[in-house]
Amino acid sequence: MNTLKNLFSPITINKMELPNRCVIPPMGTNLGNRDGSVSDANLAYVKRRAQSGAGLFITEITGVHPSGTIGLSVADDKFIPGLKEMARAIHQAGAKGALQLHHAGREAYDQLRKGTALAPSAIPSLVYKIAPKEMTLDDIHEITRSFGQAAGRAREAGFDAVELHAAHGYLLAQFLSALSNQRTDQYGGSLKNRARFVIEVIAEVRKTVGNDYPVLLRISAEEYIKNGYTVEDMQTILPDFVNAGIDAVHASVGTHGSPGGITSAPLHFEEGWNAWRAEKLKEVTDLPVIAVGRFSDPRLADAVIARGSADLIAFGRQTLADPDFLIKAKESRFDEIRKCLACNQGCIERLMLEPGRSIRCAINPETGQELVYPRKPAPESKKVWVIGMGPAGLTAADEAARLGHQVTLFEKEEDAGGQIRYASKAPGKQIYAEWINWLIRQVKSKGVQLKTGTTVTGEILSTSKMDAVILATGSKVYRPDIEGSNQPLVCDALQILGGQVPPGKNVVIIGGGFTGMETADYLAERGSAVTIVEALDRSPVSKATGQGYILHKRIKEARCKLLFNVQVKLITANSVVLISHGEEFVLSVDQVVLATGAVPNQVLKEALKEKGVPYYIVGDARRVRRIIEATEEGAEAAWSISR
């Protein structure tokens, strides 16, 4: 019996009737054509998301002017045909569509390099460190008109609404922020003056589309940066935006430069953590307010609406992880929902740190690959062995079984999960274990035969019959050649996280990567005094990612020490001898934890060569990396077998 009566109740925005309060918010994909037009990959991605059953689908950012377009474009009539196809795909799924109108301002990298990027003031981009051109009054008027013209094109293309992007540090938000807007004319100074450009854009859009066409405004309810505006500040100008002609408010948070990638909050932030800001905005407007911020459980979303904190809920990354989650929720199949890990590996970091790459999801191999994702059973059902039950092996088995193969899944340990069994022990990462358990349920439901506590040897391979093998044997702990590393006080990070070795009181962790820092976090939470030593001159864990920022913050708050540019000379029965800049020093300890990395485990590779059957090496068994590489390679191996 479905109990989500609030989430699945209808609502009207202006004259647009929505069947429920579920919103798919704008998410960049980099799937479009290079000229900003809609591609077949875009359409396939949109169609799959729209099938979720959400009432409103808001497209990814769509540029209104060449000076600030960084993805899709609506800056010319030539883009209308592709956008019509996108609106049609949304409508065919039974949803309403809103085109998000956008100008990147000083965050348009190509335009910054060419000297054509525009912004309220010539203050360098927080991301690219390049200064834009300060907008003249003529520039302001031209961009204002371009928003109106773009809204007219959106309506012509068949979209049911438009959303103006005034959040996350892009042009409209740059005018609102005193950190990026230091103008001395009527568009600068007080917050009321800084809001003038946004108000004029709203008015221009309203004039173009008429009174009955819904206009949404996405804002960062709080700038979430030192000396930035607060939600209380936003309360003072929201009525002006309403008077200018908006019909709903989309209450996001943060900007470029906000710590920890807060606009896509990592897993250490609780689900729905930003909903209270939507509630604050509801205090000053009767318009519908959309809450957004790490929503993955529809039951929580229903409760937020029930208590009056918001009128609609935006599910972003969750629709990447499981585009069918709302369908499952309606049928009370909550255990079948694949919940977003908030890891940001495929949806944020991939686009941010790997230029030219398109969107993916670390735990859903279909996302961003809708055109190549095989949907029909393989022409021939094959006998497939998958060796290893970590993320790569479980994903490979799940996909191979989905495509109709007879799959046997082996694991030498008694429990499935591979490295995730240890990673999930770090503070805040229990959801990783939930995901692995979900995967195990999936493969079982598809008839995969699981054999835990079973070591596959070369002899077993040579005497058994199978049509293909996927080698997902993961990695082995790398132990460096350090004098004294065989002392009783020495263990590795996995032994600590796995509970085989109890925490010490005074601990040195050798290795400052993710494993070392998460182990430090784990030990500090249990009362250990921790020192991390790292041979590099800086941390391998980047603060540019949400996970990295939070981890550094937690380590600092726990008063763990990080020592860089340090080599380990000797481990004794109760100390570690270290060398820094040619000088030796000694730390007294009762435990030394090795977090010095891992190496691929390819012990069966030669046996597979001799066997002569097709085989695929995936995940850490190929090269030690992250979840996203493991799941992508596991899925691709299953797809290759099925061709």
Candidates 45, 109, 128, 170; catalytic one:
170
Task: For residue 93, give the nearest of 160, 154, 40, 48 by alpha carbon.
Answer: 48
- In the residue annotation, 229 being an active-site residue is answered as no
Other CB atoms within a 10 A radius of the CB of residue 612 amount to: 8
For 33, 92, 100, 449, the CA distances from 49, given in Å and listed in that order, are: 19, 12, 16, 32
Query: What is the rounded distance in angstroms from the CA atom of residue 190 to the CA atom of residue 129?
Result: 26
Task: For residue 476, give the nearest of 294, 625, 257, 624 by alpha carbon.
Answer: 624
Query: What is the rounded distance in angstroms from the CA atom of residue 217 to the CA atom of residue 511?
Result: 46
**If DSSP codes are grouped into helix, strand and coil, which group holds residue 398?**
helix
Task: For residue 469, give the nearest of 325, 605, 288 by alpha carbon.
Answer: 605
Q: How many residues does the chain have?
A: 643
Other CB atoms within a 10 A radius of the CB of residue 9 amount to: 13
474 burial (CB, 10 Å; 0-12 / 13-18 / 19+) is buried
For 412, 618, 643, the CA distances from 637, given in Å and listed in that order, are: 21, 8, 10
Provide the token pair at 490: 């020495």
- 298 and 329 Cβ atoms separated by less than 8 Å: yes
Cα within 13 Å of Cα(4), Cβ side = 25
Query: What is the rounded distance in angstroms from the CA atom of residue 447 to the CA atom of residue 237?
Result: 58
For 60, 155, 257, the CA distances from 250, given in Å and listed in that order, are: 14, 20, 21
Residues with a catalytic annotation lie at: 170
